[in-house]
Copies of this chain bind each other. A is one copy, B any other.
């Protein structure tokens, strides 16, 4: 027993070496004890665990990652700046919570990799993965063509995307069922007698915009209707964009009688713009959108498509782990691709 006297619980633990000396055990045994290896006496394991607890020792991340070749970290890449993704904080926070319930079972940590709006997302991702920061990556806000896919595939980093893309490297993906949303929306509106239906989509090349518009067009065609090109509104995914759409809409001579919103962040602005133009949502203009924290508190209440973001996160996490060899015994290997269904919540806006 090396004499260290007291000194417990104060300051920082130096490392496993100090812990080992404190216990008068070799560092190898300490490590094995902490990592649950079988070849260590149960009594000494208990001693080690207790000492680690009381001294506040936790294995250093860098040392462990260097040796094991894995960091135990999964990164969720997202872009900062307010109006990039069009998804609010609460959207991702809910998804994260689902992801973490899965990760917690495997001692994995989820961190959000924040790409500045001033940096090219491809460069950022390249930097992050080359540094070996995370064992796996979750991508969101997928674009029509997305070079990030190829980058991760080339480096053989396990990853999954929340969203599809024309770029396809065989990775698993999950995406919201925008086709189903488009179809259900159009069907519902047509059934209510609407013949001139407008749609919105992001101003940039987010993939979901193409998927959504195409399916709306196809569904309208099935009803013998067509999508007027002037009724496709592109906007930034925020309230200002929604307001802008309302302005353009009201200025039209051949005004549609209904509109389907692919993005939930534009709803309040759209409502406001319509009201200012004397167009009463739900009466003069039918609106179907996406559920958001406020959608049920608008007047009239928004008819919207909802989904369990938490469950989505769970599915996302499990699909990712299924592609990682280290978790092959927990999740059968597969490369899943799944359209996540959304449920129509009737409101008074259509």
Q: Contact residue range for chain A?
A: 35 or more
Least CB separation from A269: chain B residue: B297
* Chain B residues with CB under 8 A of A91: 89
B100 touches A132 (CB 8 A): no
With both chains docked as a complex, state the minimum distance between the C-beta of A141 and any C-beta of chain B, in angstroms: 12
Would you call A338 an interface residue if the criterion is a C-beta within 8 Å of the partner chain's C-beta atoms? no
B110 touches A154 (CB 8 A): no
A89 touches B85 (CB 8 A): yes
Least CB separation from A96: chain B residue: B80
Bound complex: CA of A97 vs CA of B62, how far in Å? 27
B294 touches A239 (CB 8 A): yes
A94 touches B81 (CB 8 A): yes
B130 touches A13 (CB 8 A): yes
The stretch of A25-33, A111-119, A187-195 in contact with B is: A111-119
Least CB separation from A293: chain B residue: B239
B104 touches A114 (CB 8 A): no
The stretch of A40-48, A51-59, A196-204, A212-220 in contact with B is: A51-59
Task: List which A82-134 residues lie within 8 A (CB) of chain B.
Answer: 82-85, 87-94, 96-97, 100-101, 104, 109-114, 116-119, 126-128, 130-133
The one of B57, B62, B113, B272 in contact with A66, judged by C-beta atoms closer than 8 angstroms, is B62
B59 touches A81 (CB 8 A): no
Least CB separation from A127: chain B residue: B58
B104 touches A82 (CB 8 A): no
Least CB separation from A72: chain B residue: B131
With both chains docked as a complex, state the minimum distance between the C-beta of A185 and any C-beta of chain B, in angstroms: 23
Would you call A5 an interface residue if the criterion is a C-beta within 8 Å of the partner chain's C-beta atoms? no
17 A-B residue pairs with Cβ-Cβ distance under 8 Å, sorted by A, are A12-B156, A60-B131, A61-B62, A62-B65, A62-B66, A80-B93, A80-B94, A82-B90, A82-B309, A88-B89, A89-B93, A89-B293, A100-B116, A109-B128, A112-B112, A239-B293, A239-B296
Extra pairs beyond A61-B71, A97-B116, A272-B299 (9, CB < 8 Å):
A58-B126, A59-B131, A78-B93, A88-B88, A111-B112, A112-B114, A243-B297, A268-B297, A272-B298
